[in-house]
Amino acid sequence: MNAVFLQARLNSSRLPGKALMLLEGIPLIEWCMRRLKAAEAQDFVLLTCERDAGRLRPSAERCGFTLFTGSEDDVLNRFASAVLYFKPDMILRATGDNPFVSPFLAGETVRLAASARADYAVLKNIPVGSSVEAVAAEALLKAAVRAEDAYEHEHVTPYLYRHPETFRVVSGEAPPGYRSPLSVTVDTEDDFRRVSAWAAGRTPETFSLSELIRTHSAADGEK
């Protein structure tokens, strides 16, 4: 069983409250959730901390995600607690600052992980913020026990890819039409303005990442 685990917080130091900032009248976090709803998973979970749960709950309910709360600072522990609760085999880890996350690329990542029997799988050379990490639940639980570095607890998966001698770590090439140096993540006010322009006139369901890539590739070719 696969589960989408989408992590979100409202206290970003560079862009506070960005998860609830509006793209075409829709909170950014709901762009993430509505796009991820098309991913190949059985459970869809929004992972946050108790402090932010009240403000994020309405979005989770509108999008059909289960709200799960855990440690505010130890996000790896938050994920491990969710694994023990929902009992998935594989986690599709996504973050709430990626409104253009691609369910197609998420599916490609899942297939890569399954075919390689990987503990950790990602795609490379795709737009930053466009896909997920596929993580075996059992491997994540091991990481939660063994990781000692604060960075590894804050960012969830570094312990896995820092220890390829212990875990099977694989990366796959971008599928045709998805290779691009673009960034579609929202970390700063400038990022938000750029993403807002790309989202103009679209909804989470009608936005096409491949179309955005084609448009930018054509524009780059004209320079």
- How does DSSP classify residue 102? -
What is the pLDDT, as a whole number, of residue 223? 45
Pick the closest to residue 178 from 113, 123, 121 (CA basis). Answer: 123
Q: Which CATH superfamily is domain 2-222 in?
A: Spore Coat Polysaccharide Biosynthesis Protein SpsA; Chain A (3.90.550.10)
User: How many other CB atoms are found less than 10 A from the CB of residue 113?
Assistant: 24
- The backbone torsions φ and ψ at residue 72, rounded to the nearest 5 degrees and listed phi first, read -75, -45
What is the pLDDT, as a whole number, of residue 222? 42
Pick the closest to residue 45 from 105, 107, 76, 88 (CA basis). Answer: 88
Pick the closest to residue 32 from 8, 16, 49 (CA basis). Answer: 8
For the whole model, what pTM was predicted?
0.94
Q: What is the DSSP string of 1-64?
A: -EEEEEE--S--SSSTTGGG-EETTEEHHHHHHHHHTTSS-SEEEEEEEHHHHHHHHHHHHHHT
Pick the closest to residue 197 from 223, 174, 216, 221 (CA basis). Answer: 216
Mean pLDDT in consecutive groups of 10 residues from the start of the chain, 223 residues: 96 87 97 97 97 97 98 95 98 97 97 97 97 97 95 95 97 95 96 97 97 81 46
What is the pLDDT, as a whole number, of residue 11? 83
User: How many other CB atoms are found less than 10 A from the CB of residue 55?
Assistant: 15
